[in-house]
Chains A and B, each alone.
Chain A
Amino acid sequence: MDKELEHSFVALLEEHQNIVHKVCRLYTNHREAHNDLFQEITIQLWKAYPKFRGDAKFSTWMYRVGLNTAITLYRKSKRTVNTYELETFQFKIKAEEYDDTEEQQLKLLYQAVHQLNDIEKALVFLYLEEKDYREISETLGISEVNARVKMNRIKNKLRTILNP
């Protein structure tokens, strides 16, 4: 492989790695699974990188590859335990920024999001990343109207999960 290509890829990924972390944050619920998915997304990004032309933003390109890997390509490795271990896998939340109720609320919110299906998580992810409906629809391959409708349904679903 071209060394220069490798260097530029590693530098870009190191800079934008939070996008990958965030995909893993929604699709996995414990540290080992997080790392495993992170690695698989990195491999897929690297494999696709020679075709990356730079006409799109690197970050936009990463959203696609990251979500596609999480939704379609990734197979859970054996060590993944399929239970909710959210409690043990909370990223530390800075105490001074949140009061107790807000922290508790956040915890419940993440638990609720983890109950959504893969496609719904993708929509939530892009929404949290403040992508507009055009980009959401292009990333998933659905129409803008359907993306909007689905997003509203997800909001209602989350509300129902949180306030049964």
Chain B
Amino acid sequence: MDELELLKKHWKQEDTQYPHVSANAIYKMILQRSSSIVKWIFIISLLEFALWTAVTVFLKDHKSAQHFDRLDSDYLIIPLTVIGYVILIYFFYLFYKNFRRISVTDSAKVLMENILRTRRTVKNYVVFNLGFMVLSTVVVLYIEFDQDTALIRKTQAAAANGELFMFYAKTILIVAGVLAVFAGILLFFYWLIYGLLLRKLNRNYRELKKLEM
């Protein structure tokens, strides 16, 4: 006999053997909070948006930024800031739209795709930010070296001592170090999300995709 047929026979008879959950218990259950991955993905995504907005605001208010404001840089900084915020709003809109689309009554495959798409929006936002941060850093360095009198003096002094190469190398290393710290924070987020939260989802999605081949 087919193995599953025996199970099927038993499966039907098992109906009476499950513990009965009373209506009262069900009322209590629906008051509880869900601990689904969708909720966690939403929270973590909000944290990521908040982190990057905080980074932008913090950099704007920082002392060195105020010093930077005195330089003639508006022609570059204002467009960069505006683009930054417009893109934030755009990504947030996409994220929200994708998030709303997640429905537990879709087929398993569609549900998984919608969750993954929501995550991808946030990932793209972060990748965009990383690129934007590198671009902004290059722009700021360019303006500093071009206009900041103190820095120009230092450069000239270094050049006079024949240490110009060392001076540039040091500056670049420090800047790269700061960028690396940010990249580290990002990697932590991704380890958290893809490693822990989405492991099961990714595994099952791959399994479904394999069926289609």
Contact = CB atoms under 8 A, between A and B. Distances in A.
B104 A139 contact: no
Contact of B36 (A73, A91, A120, A158): A73
Contacts of A22: 11, 14, 18
A119 B207 contact: yes
Contact of A10 (B23, B35, B108, B204): B23
B212 A44 contact: no
A159 B30 CA distance: 40
A127 B35 CA distance: 29
Contacts of A127: 4, 8
Contact of B208 (A74, A129, A141, A159): A141
Contacts of B29: 39, 42-43, 46
B17 A71 contact: no
A128 B40 contact: no
B37 A71 contact: no
A138 B107 contact: yes
A75 B27 contact: no
B104 A65 contact: yes
B20 interface: yes
Contacts of B197: 75
A74 B37 CA distance: 7
Nearest to A154: B4
Contacts of A73: 34, 36-38, 104
B3 A155 contact: yes
B109 interface: yes
Given A67-B108, A155-B2, A14 B40 contact: no
Interface in A84-143: 91-94, 97-98, 102, 105-106, 109-110, 112-113, 117-120, 122, 124, 127-130, 138-143
Nearest to B29: A42
B22 interface: yes
B13 A97 contact: yes
Interface stretch (B67-75, B110-118, B164-172): B110-118
Interface string B95-132: 00000000111111111100100000000000000000
A102 B7 CA distance: 10
Interface residues on A, range: 35 or more
A147 B108 CA distance: 13
Interface string B50-88: 000000000000000000000000000000000000000
Given A6-B30, A72-B37, A119 B204 contact: yes
B105 A65 contact: yes
A103 B20 CA distance: 24
Contacts of A14: 21-23, 26
B54 to A, nearest CB: 27
Interface of B: 2-4, 6-8, 10-11, 13-15, 17-23, 26-27, 29-30, 32-38, 40, 103-112, 115, 197, 200-201, 203-204, 207-208, 211-212
Interface of A: 6, 9-11, 13-14, 17-18, 21-22, 25, 38-40, 42-44, 46-48, 51-52, 61, 64-65, 67-69, 71-75, 77, 91-94, 97-98, 102, 105-106, 109-110, 112-113, 117-120, 122, 124, 127-130, 138-143, 146-147, 149-150, 155, 158-159, 162
15 contacts: A11-B23, A14-B21, A18-B15, A25-B14, A71-B204, A72-B111, A72-B200, A75-B200, A91-B17, A109-B6, A130-B8, A140-B109, A155-B3, A158-B3, A158-B4
